[in-house]
Amino acid sequence: MDNQKTSAIQWKQMISLLALYASVIIGWIAYHRYQPALLDTFDMREFEPILIWGQAIILILTPPLAGYLGDKYRNRLGNRLRIITLGVSFAAMIFMTVAFTLIVNPPRSFVLYALPVLVILWLFAMSLFTSPAISTIEMFSPSTKLPITVAALTITSDLLYSLEPVIVDIIDFLGGAATFAVGGIIVSISGYLLRKNSMAMTDDGKETRPDDFNPKTKMGKVILLGVGMGLFSGIIIEVFPDYLDKLKSIMGMSGQWVSSLVLVLTAIFSIVISRKVNKGNIVRLLLIGLLFAGVSTVGIFTIPNNMLIIVSLVVFAVFYAMVNVTALPLALQNTSVKEKVLGVGVFFCGFEIPNSLIDVMLI
């Protein structure tokens, strides 16, 4: 690669990564919408706690495993694309299998055993490729510009989750079978595009990086960064929607839409903050973000005045954005080149710990 390319963000490759990341988020929204519906349809509600516990275990343990395999393939074959392709193919296959199961409407005796297994396999497949795929961000951006590219991931995530009520309406309109079939197609196409565009960043199949920044690995810091970011993510997605229904009288919208508005604000602030982050201030900005996101969260749950809660939500959006654009770049700064995929996997392991605890407590 020439010097101009190595100092620039490779937006063509980033767009393919964002497309795959978007398909993952839409897949999760579809899963959370249809998991209870599927269990109701086949009179299997007693399996819900087991699936939530299984989801928690898989989402915590699979990312480091996927990261380890990604680094192993990269060190042996020159790139991490095989583990991404394997996970994408597996996830698409499970999508299609669930769609076919809903179409043929098999007897309950079959579904009783097959459906929980399919759900667990789908969770595993989605987790298998997500961390290695996101780790490719360090191929597409020099270290100094990671906050900008991570902000792009944040904006994609926040905007899609902010549109969750609309996406759920579309999912309901399509129906279960069509939703899972379309999900399989989208994951397959976006995975193919990421592989194709990532191969353009290799020399004879060997990955090339935009700079030679090679820090020492500090996995303890990496997992703590994931836990810090995951805690606020879990609160805003899992807890805020129901709690903020109390604001309906003055905002004229449900708690789900208030949470969506907070996520939109977070996406906007992420764009601004990402341009202010550099290697010298990234730690300070993260600590400030964690501190004031925590203070504003406490305020949201303890302040009795609804207008002050709204102010606290705006403050939360600012500092949650600050955490979003600094946590993953700082995790990558604390991971060596040889363990970069594992580092992202450990980060998402930490991210899922508070999310999974919230899900388990809400059973």
More confident residue, 29 or 343: 343
Judge whether 169 lies within some domain: yes
Q: Give pLDDT, residue 220.
A: 94
**Domain range spanning residue 245?**
219-361
Is residue 6's pLDDT more than 70?
A: no
Q: Do residue 40 and residue 163 come from a single domain?
A: yes
Average pLDDT score over the chain: 86
pTM of the entire predicted model: 0.88
List, for residues 176-200, the tens digit of each pLDDT value.
788 888 888 988 999 888 888 887 7
Q: Do residue 136 and residue 29 come from a single domain?
A: yes
Q: Give pLDDT, residue 3.
A: 46
Q: Do residue 87 and residue 125 come from a single domain?
A: yes
Q: Do residue 181 and residue 223 come from a single domain?
A: no
Q: Which of 352, 361, 331, 357 is nearest to 60 (CA)?
A: 352
Q: Which of 259, 275, 283, 268 is nearest to 321 (CA)?
A: 268
Q: Do residue 28 and residue 158 come from a single domain?
A: yes
Indicate the number of domains in the chain.
2
List, for residues 104-145, the tens digit of each pLDDT value.
777 767 767 777 788 788 888 888 888 888 988 888 888 888
Q: Do residue 230 and residue 197 come from a single domain?
A: no
Judge whether 213 lies within some domain: no
Judge whether 212 lies within some domain: no
Average pLDDT on 51-61 reads 89
Q: Do residue 187 and residue 326 come from a single domain?
A: no
Q: Give pLDDT, residue 203.
A: 67
Boundary-marking domain end, from 187, 207, 227: 207
Q: Give pLDDT, residue 231.
A: 95
Judge whether 138 lies within some domain: yes
Q: Do residue 175 and residue 70 come from a single domain?
A: yes
Residue 57: which residues within 8 A CB-CB, separation 6 or more?
none
Is residue 204's pLDDT more than 70?
A: no
Q: Which of 147, 92, 95, 125 is nearest to 328 (CA)?
A: 147
List, for residues 257-304, the tens digit of each pLDDT value.
999 999 999 999 999 999 899 888 999 999 999 999 999 999 999 998
Q: Which of 273, 270, 335, 355 is nearest to 64 (CA)?
A: 335
Q: Do residue 176 and residue 197 come from a single domain?
A: yes
